[in-house]
Amino acid sequence: MRASTKWVIAARDAYNFCMTSNQNDPAASARGSQLASDFTVSLHYDRRLYREDIAGSIAHARMLARQEIISAGSAISIVEGLQSIEAEIAAGDFPWRDDLEDIHMNIEARLFELIGDVAGKLHTARSRNDQVSTDTRLYAKSAAVELVVAVWATQNALLQQAEAHVETVVPGYTHMQRGQPVSLAHHLLAYFEMLDRDAERFANAAHAASVSTLGSGAMAGVPYPIDRHSVAEELGLGGITANSMDAVSDRDFSLDLIYAASVCMLHLSRLAEEFIIWSTDEFGFLKLGDGYTSGSSIMPQKRNSDFAELTRGKSGRVVGNLMAAMTTLKGLPLTYNRDLQEDKEGLFDSVDTALMALGVAEGMIESATFDVEKMRNAAESSYVLATDIADYLVGKGMPFRQAHVIVSNLSEQAVGSGRFLHELSLAEYQAASDLFDEAVFDITVDSSIAARDVEGGTAFNRVREALEVAKLRMSAVTDDS
């Protein structure tokens, strides 16, 4: 008998035994009921929405009183009860009950305990569907703003390093091959630009979330003369939703925030990858601060780039959260479906992970020490000036494609003889083209960088200009905030 067949038979026998036993075992039946109950519980993660839930409830209660749907006295009792509950939760004294399933039912049950039957008036003109949607929107808006601030801090760390390394020369790479010499500051400012787009995406996500769905009810609106705009205004939201069916089923704002976090994590992962590579003995371009490395359990000489590696690894989690959220939403008919309970864990995890990764990136950047001499030597001891030599021929009237072929052949000749391009003789250059003269030896990594004197280029003066513009941009947004 095949081994796999044995395992199948063993599994079948165990299954049949369990099924037979469970039929006569009340404890097993209770365990099954508990499992079914636990499957629907969200309290263990949605309790972090307590501030948002209470804020939404307070605004709703006050509006009900203004609209004379409930009495002013009832609203005061409800608001005071909710404020007491918020204080209890903040102090860690709240009596959480898993049997009440979620944050909303826990708060409502506690409100009944504190103020009695008047608590039942709070849910007038409201459903858990529009309640949870507004709670999540309030969280997403706040989290997106917090992420923008974290991005700014990381950008400032990049600016500080860039300012110290405008004239530090490093090889620029394509396909992980040395391509052309660039300013290290120019390289670092590339990540500044990536993060700038991330900040904009997070800001857009905050704007997308800044809409109140309260008043949409379960799906069709509510039969009360409510004032939706005043609730949105009290909650600091920019407006109200236009369609009640869309409002309770829409989670685009959550996708926007997870997507923004995913792209940001991709950028941080790229930076982490370069820091990992650059800190190897083979490169030796930088040394990370001791607080951002760890030792080996067996090899005492090693310092591992664990924080950068974890940043790289955690990017996969956030991208996975995005895929999970999109997959959950893709097949849902209107309107609310319980599947939407699954929107929060991935959102929370994406926000938490991105915030941690940004903090780590800020610290790694600040702690990094760059080996200026080794970076320059890597640029000079290479073939990164090949393009400049081709451009030299173009300057003498040769079409670039022809110059490219000539310099490609010269590069192969130099590599084959174990030399660099600047070590070839003038005779060897002139054998390839009579347009070469002594001026070819004036081409250096510094002249190469200086030649890229265009907006967005790596010439030192352009990098200084870009650095000043970047600093002004940061000052503008941080001062406004």
Is residue 175 part of the annotated active site? The answer reads yes
pLDDT category of residue 303 using cuts at 50, 70 and 90 = confident
Portion of the chain with pLDDT greater than 70, in percent: 92
Q: Catalytic site residue 296? A: yes
428 residue type, one letter = E
Q: In this structure, what token pair is assigned to residue 251?
A: 């989670």
Distances in Å between the Cα of 256 and the Cα atoms of 129, 200, 297 are: 20, 12, 41
- Give whole-number Cα distances, 134 to 113, 237, 438, 481, in Å: 25, 10, 73, 24
Task: Report pTM.
Answer: 0.91
296, 381, 408, 417: the catalytic one is 296
> For the chain, what is the radius of gyration of the CA atoms?
31
Residue 344 has pLDDT above 90, yes or no: yes
Residue 357 or residue 12, greater confidence: 357
Residue 479 confidence class, pLDDT cut points 50, 70, 90: confident
- pLDDT at residue 294 tops 70: yes
Q: How far apart are CA 110 and CA 96, in angstroms?
A: 9
Residue ranges per structural domain of the chain: 45-124, 129-169+184-372, 378-480
Whether the predicted pLDDT of 7 surpasses 90: no
| Mean pLDDT calculated for residue range 208-236 | 98
Indicate whether 24 pLDDT > 70.
no
**Average pLDDT across the chain, whole number:** 93
Pairing of strands 303-304, 369-370: unpaired
Considering only residues 411 and 33, tell me which one the structure prediction assigns the higher pLDDT.
411
> What are the pLDDT digits (tens) for 447-461?
999 999 999 999 999
CATH number of 45-124: 1.10.275.10
Q: Which string of b and e fits 41-76 if b means at least 16 CB within 10 Å?
A: ebbebbbebbebbbbbbbbbbbbbbeeebbeeebbe
Indicate the pLDDT class of residue 17, thresholds 50, 70 and 90. Answer: low
Angle at 45 between CA 329 and CA 250, to 5 degrees: 25
- Indicate the fold that domain 378-480 takes in CATH: Ribonucleotide Reductase Protein R1; domain 1 (1.10.40)
Q: Which CATH superfamily is domain 129-169+184-372 in?
A: Fumarase/aspartase (Central domain) (1.20.200.10)
The predicted structure's pLDDT at residue 152: 98
Q: Is 216 exposed, middle or buried (0-12, 13-18, 19+ CB in 10 A)?
A: buried
Output the pLDDT for position 6.
73
Q: Are 406 and 469 in contact (CB under 8 A)?
A: no
Q: Which of 175, 297, 425, 481 is catalytic?
A: 175
Give the pLDDT mean for 467-478: 94
pLDDT band at residue 250 under the 50/70/90 scheme:
very high
Label the pairing between strands 286-287 and 303-304. Answer: unpaired
Q: Given a cut of 60, is residue 300 above it in pLDDT?
A: no
Rounded alpha-carbon distances, angstroms, from residue 333 to 139, 219, 253, 273, 319: 25, 12, 18, 42, 25
